[in-house]
A = this chain, B = another copy of it.
């Protein structure tokens, strides 16, 4: 039996407490499977006096997480502090420099400093593991690092933010507007008081930055991701998507193109009859297209203290097991620069919703603008706007702008944007055209 593996845990919120319970409840099973015991020897948090639902009696307390990270009495430093700078970054750097393995759930830290930290880990012959940083309990990091190492990854995509998926699922199921459902999500604790980080797509982009590096062997490049949020998705879009056979999901997508890596987070139409369309509520998913394996889809909880603790534990188990590939699969010296594909070169089909003034020649002008840029249409649905007045027939009021939804054939983003800009300038539409990319699964 090998010597026990000693953990120092910094950050004792619900994930930290959940991890300590998990390790305690499963101590015997883990010891039998791994051939060595995992023990928590030291902990650190901001407030020592706070009551916590776990047994800390055998752990040494540190007020300073950096001091904990450097303690000679730990083998692994578990960072559950959070934040891309400050204590989290300082403690992780200190741990690696002191030769301690690091396990972290901190996506912001990795999205910003992933390459530098991976380099530090390599120099000091340490592990830097982060299964919990992307898609919570879904084992996507291990799948990319190990299971798919023999595949060339062509595309990786998924539902990476539970808050957005909860909101879009509710809007679809209950026919309610964005603002109302967001308020409910805030009440339930699924969304922050300032929801921008989630609904603006930035949280998903942090995760996509990490996945992109692992999938394509490139440097982590959060700033190179094209990000759009879900704030502008209306009930009209949700309804039209349903009628056209689609669901709207906030997807993070990264793929290889001839001109570089296309990495983007935005509302996306996916076919209604697909497994990904049925991923509802706060659940996350990640799909990977590999040249050998085809498409793998992993679905599971993207957040939650117990699921996150499970993922953190899997990293600890991995270190207990020994061996392993470098943090970013290849040594950082082998990472390629992230060469960004221009979003204008994105190729795909598009959903477009226009509010068209009911006047002669308007539709002809719109169709011409599309045709001028080589955008051909798969379908056109025109409806008069329903009156909002009670007692109205619901069949559309004469004179009101008609809602026109279009599905294009495959075209480029540059072409569709050019056409929509021209349509807007022509003055035939009463509001800015809505445009949603359709992803081929």
Contacts and interface: CB of A to CB of B under 8 A. Distances in A.
Interface of A: 18, 22-23, 26, 29-30, 32-34, 131, 137-139, 142-143, 146-152, 217, 273-279, 285, 290, 292-301, 304, 306-307, 309-311, 313-314, 317-318, 321-326, 329-331, 334
A325 B34 contact: yes
Nearest to A334: B32
B298 A297 contact: yes
A293 B299 contact: no
B151 A147 contact: no
Nearest to A276: B275
Nearest to A142: B147
Given A32-B330, A32-B331, A307 B293 contact: yes
Nearest to A295: B300
A121 to B, nearest CB: 14
How many copies of the chain does the oligomer comprise? 2
B296 A296 contact: no
Nearest to A152: B26
Contacts of A131: 147
B139 A143 contact: yes
Given A150-B313, A314-B146, A29 B330 contact: yes
Nearest to A330: B32
Nearest to A287: B299
B296 A300 contact: yes
B148 A294 contact: no
Given A150-B314, A321-B325, 14 more contacts: A26-B149, A32-B331, A131-B147, A137-B296, A138-B296, A139-B143, A147-B311, A148-B310, A274-B278, A275-B275, A292-B306, A292-B307, A293-B306, A298-B298
